[in-house]
Chains A and B, each alone.
Chain A
Amino acid sequence: NAGVMQNPRHLVRRRGQEARLRCSPMKGHSHVYWYRQLPEEGLKFMVYLQKENIIDESGMPKERFSAEFPKEGPSILRIQQVVRGDSAAYFCASSPLERIPGELFFGEGSRLTVL
């Protein structure tokens, strides 16, 4: 199954630590999107990347959050100095180069818990 792969599925961090979430898009997909979902809330767009390029980061908090999608390897969402409010499910989605806006393929998500 060559779907969108995210790891870790569950991550526990203490306040002030760093969290790194990884996402490998579907085979043949060159666009990666990161979303955050808080309990009982909708999906909130964070960042949209192509290989080695950040296309749109309008949903990223200005501090502590960063994302990359290197030429080789998975996309990484990095959260520095985590706080309790960062506890959420972080979903990665991918789409092909010739994409249909609105049609995204999601990974199973990474659930971050900050103690």
Chain B
Amino acid sequence: RKEVEQDPGPFNVPEGATVAFNCTYSNSASQSFFWYRQDCRKEPKLLMSVYSSGNEDGRFTAQLNRASQYISLLIRDSKLSDSATYLCVGVYSGGGADGLTFGKGTHLIIQP
């Protein structure tokens, strides 16, 4: 049973456009969520935390919808450098390594 699911994509988006993708989770006990970014053949890097009240950091906005059990990531005015795989991470008690569960990632390609 998958705890965190993401559309693998790829999402092909023209530069300057707004793009959004979701991540659904099955464990309602999940306590917190994060978005990580992973460039090709590189390590994952923390992008931002996700709170019920939402979280905005520059062009990036993350939202949590507990009723529907999904989180979202919105990228405005996309840049070529935004091309990467975005990993959704759920944290829940009782799981391994502090309960982190990684999604398989959504592949985003920003086209010039």
Contacts and interface: CB of A to CB of B under 8 A. Distances in A.
Interface stretch (A62-70, A72-80, A102-110): A102-110
A43 interface: yes
A105 B98 CA distance: 14
In this complex, the interface size class of chain A, counting residues with CB under 8 Å from chain B, is: 20 to 34
B64 interface: no
A44 B97 CA distance: 11
Given A41-B104, A106-B44, A101 B99 contact: yes
Nearest to A33: B97
Nearest to A44: B102
In this complex, the interface size class of chain B, counting residues with CB under 8 Å from chain A, is: 20 to 34
B45 interface: yes
Interface in A58-115: 58-59, 89, 91, 99, 101-109
B43 A91 contact: yes
B108 to A, nearest CB: 15
26 contacts: A33-B97, A42-B102, A42-B103, A42-B104, A43-B44, A43-B87, A43-B102, A45-B96, A45-B97, A48-B96, A48-B97, A58-B96, A99-B98, A101-B91, A102-B33, A102-B34, A102-B89, A102-B91, A102-B98, A103-B46, A104-B46, A104-B100, A106-B45, A108-B42, A109-B42, A109-B43
Interface of B: 31-34, 41-46, 49, 87, 89, 91, 96-100, 102-105
